[in-house]
Every structure is written in C-alpha cells, then in structure tokens.
Amino acid sequence: MTVSAVVISWNARGLTLRCLDSLARATYPQLDVIVVDNHSHDETAAAVAERHPTVEVLLLDTNRGFAGGVNAGLERARATGADHVFLLNNDATIDPDAIEPLVAAAADASVGAVCSQILHESAETIWYAGATYDPRRGHQGRHSGYGKPPLPKDTPPYPTDRACGGAMLVSRAALDRVGGLDEALFAYAEDVDWSLRARAVGLELLVAPGSVVRHRVSASSGGASSPGSVYYALRNGLVVAERAAPLGRLGTARRRAEAVSAFGVQALLSEAPLRGVRAVLAGFMDAHRRRLGQREL
C-alpha cells in the first residue's frame, strides 16, 4: 500500500525541516512526502528543496489555513494514486516505525482513519491517545490519557470518538466517502468535523499506539493558549458542536456559557491575558454570527 505524507507549512521553516528529517528516517518502504506551503515568506520551499530534494512542494498563492492546505495535499496525493494519506503537523516528528502500525490497522474497509499515539515532546507523556466527544457540551476537556506515561507499542488499536488531524492516516476509500476538511473552519476543530462525518457514514476511527509521534503542541500557531489558538478553538468548537447537536435556545446558551468560561480561564492564565480575553469574545461573537474563514486578530 502506498502512503503519501502531507505536511502543511506556514512560515515555520525550521519546524518543517525537522519534521521532514523524521519522515526521511521512516522505515515504511512505499512512502512519499508532500509539503503544502501556505504562502510562506521564509523561503521554506527553497530550504526543503535543498535538504530533501525528493519531497514534492506545493506552493499556494494564499494562506488557506490548515484545512485548505490539507485539502490541496489530499488532492495531490489522490492524483498520484496514493492508497493512504498520512496527515502530519509540521511541529511533530515520527518514530521511524510509525507508519507500519497505521497501515496495518487501516486494512479493514470499515476503518476511516487511524491516529498515532501523540506524545508531548518535552515530557514524553501522552498528549493524544484518543478522545471522547459530546457535541452537547461546550468544552471537551483534555484528550484521553493526557499527561500519563506512553502506552506500550504492542497495545492493540482501539476506537476513539474523534480523530486527531495532527497525525492521522486516512484511506483513499474513506476520502471518497467523506471528502476533505471544511475549509470554512480554516484551522482547529476541522478534524472533529471530519470525524463526525466519517462516523455518520459508518466508518470507525482508531488509535494505533504502536505508531508514536512527538509533538511541540501548537508550536506553529503560537502555542495552545495564544490568542489565535484560543479564537479558532472556541469559534470552531461551537460551530461544529451546534451543527451536530442543536439544543434549542436554553441548551445552546448553556453550551456557549460553558465554552466561554473554559476558554476565558485559559486566556486569563496565558502570557497575554488581555489579548486572550479579546480573542475569546471575538471567537464567541463570530461563532454566533457564523462568520468563518480566516480572522485577523
């Protein structure tokens, strides 16, 4: 089975090169790599061409966000005839044997996506090893196993409510049924939306702990508590949840209050609390107005 790894980069040359270095050490024999450059201004494309000349670089003429960049990469991978596409954040690195467990777990036609076990790079603890999802809630909390020691690599694959687009293998057949990411979301929660659509057509989402990825969480977007991250996570989280589970006026108000409270606390504890609170308010208002796409904060 052929696999195309798709890596999205936007003004993060160093992170992207580091990610590609890890992919170059992968032991899977039928792997090619596509970098989608989201209109960077840091000469990422030239640096990639020099250090990894076999990697294909797609240059976009505008920043289409994570969702749009992924869709461009998916289109290219499908055109090359890839059987699977491996989405990988550019602020992550993979273990050399990370691809094989994903491909093995995706062999069943009922599987839509298989995710890696993602560790905090600095602490070697779990960041993502599956996640629950209840769209009736305004905030989903931490991933399953967050902060705990890594799962043994021989742990069998198991189901998860929602996949993580930071390190996720998707089959061509699943893409044919589900489609790509929702570009209106631009960044954040697009993997939750995709997970809901995949499950709606009867596809299963799995985590394969034998595939280990190490992640500098949200490094490419300024950090998990940066104003940009808080804005998109709140806005898109509410939009996706409200699409999936309409609750009426009272239920919607409760869900929104929970989301604003959770992200408000996160913003107040960040390095830029005033900007963070403004991002929370902007995210809430844009979710209410359904004003999506890229947002300048």
Confidence class for position 140, pLDDT limits 50, 70, 90: confident
Could you tell me the residue range of the domain that residue 143 belongs to? 3-220
pLDDT score recorded for residue 154: 98
pTM of the predicted model, to two decimals?
0.94
Last residue of a domain, one of 169, 193, 220: 220
- 224: pLDDT confidence band, cut at 50, 70 and 90? low
Question: Which two structure tokens, joined as six digits, stand for 101?
Answer: 């467990």
Count CA atoms within 13 Å of residue 265 on its CB side: 7
Residues 167 and 276 in one domain: no
**Residue 295 within any structural domain of the chain:** no
Give yes or no: residues 86 and 178 share one domain.
Answer: yes
pLDDT of residue 222: 53
**Are 127 and 245 found together in one domain?**
no
Q: Is residue 1 scored above 80 in pLDDT?
A: yes
238 and 205 in a single domain? The answer is no
pLDDT at 220: 56
In tens, the pLDDT along 24-34 reads: 999 999 999 99
Is residue 182 one of the residues assigned to a domain?
yes
Q: 181 and 73 in one domain?
A: yes
Same domain, 129 and 183: yes
The reply to whether 232 and 216 lie within a common domain is no
Q: Are residues 91 and 212 in the same domain?
A: yes
> What CATH number does residue 205 fall under?
3.90.550.10
297 in any annotated domain: no
User: What is the SS3 string spanning the chain?
Assistant: CCEEEEEEECCCHHHHHHHHHHHHCCCCCCEEEEEEECCCCCCHHHHHHHHCCCCEEEECCCCCHHHHHHHHHHHHHHHCCCCEEEEEECCEEECCCCHHHHHHHCCCCCEEEEEEEEEECCCCCEEECCCCCCCCCCCCCCCCCCCCCCCCCCCCCEECCCCCCCEEEEEHHHHHHHCCCCHHHCCCCHHHHHHHHHHHCCCEEEEEEEEEEEECCCHHHCCCCCHHHHHHHHHHHHHHHHHHCCCHHHHHHHHHHHHHHHHHHHHHCCCCHHHHHHHHHHHHHHHHHCCCCCCCC
Domain count for the chain, please give it.
2
Answer yes or no: is 63 within a domain.
yes
Choose the final residue of a domain: 173, 191, 220.
220
The rounded mean pLDDT for the chain is 95
